Structure 1
């Protein structure tokens, strides 16, 4: 009696494992198709931005998260931009404190760091607001987000203008700031596309 119970238990366990394995295989088989669709969606959406190659390169790795959602795409673009702005701020802080940095260049970096700090705040506020969007407050919230992202772009442009590209540090910093400005410009274009769907 005891032997037949354990035999039945093993058969049920085997069948359960077989069913689980079948589910896993079928879901992983559909994943590449979904990912390809998501990747195509990102590529198509990025084609309407000013810097489509950068747009696609910065967002393609998030395809499974974005899927085919214009909102998630705009949200991801903001997150990528914020992350890049924060890491650039850290690099600039180190460069500005480097003993080899000329006083005028260090001063330009400090000014730029303030602009970048404002930009980071504006991007954070935009991301927070993006999470609060409802159909009842859509237009007002989108207007706020567009204003903050535009302000962030202005701060970044002001920052990059203060550097002499003939110096090594100036060239490095300007390239990094321009990269953030391009990411911000792309994020704004994707936000505008998302907003136009609800116009």
Structure 2
């Protein structure tokens, strides 16, 4: 798909974005933290593959509370571990949690929001009841309950956050579908005999 000037939509979006200095600074920060997250994951996988303790996990009480310097750029913590190395691993975990929970929440929210807004009636009533039920649950308690079921580790965090954050997405998509399903281009697609799935997820 192209714009009136013959440029692609992605190219036009990039030109608009590049003119906004604040947006470019934010994009640079995102790229920087992304590189840190990738580096941290590579380091973690390397030590796991060789079955050795990562350097950011090794304790040395004699090096506790060291100030920032040439060896430890951000100093050490109470157990003598490098603060900067652990900070990078924290960025990696934060990225994994954000990406995986989004991959869980977005498909659920989009699917239920689309069918609720498009079909209406009992389907809409059911979806509204479902997301209202999830929204009424305390998020932290829900995450803890799932973590207790699946066991220790990040899997419980992924599922807990993913299964609680889809509600807002569902509400947004439902409202947008309700707004657009009465437009002429949707009515034209229905008149041409296009299927509901194609109309919902394409048009």
Q: TM-score, normalised by structure 1?
A: 0.28
The structure carrying a bigger helix percent of its residues is: 1
Q: TM-score, normalised by structure 2?
A: 0.28
Question: Greater relative contact order (Cα 8 A, min sep 6): structure 1 or 2?
Answer: 1
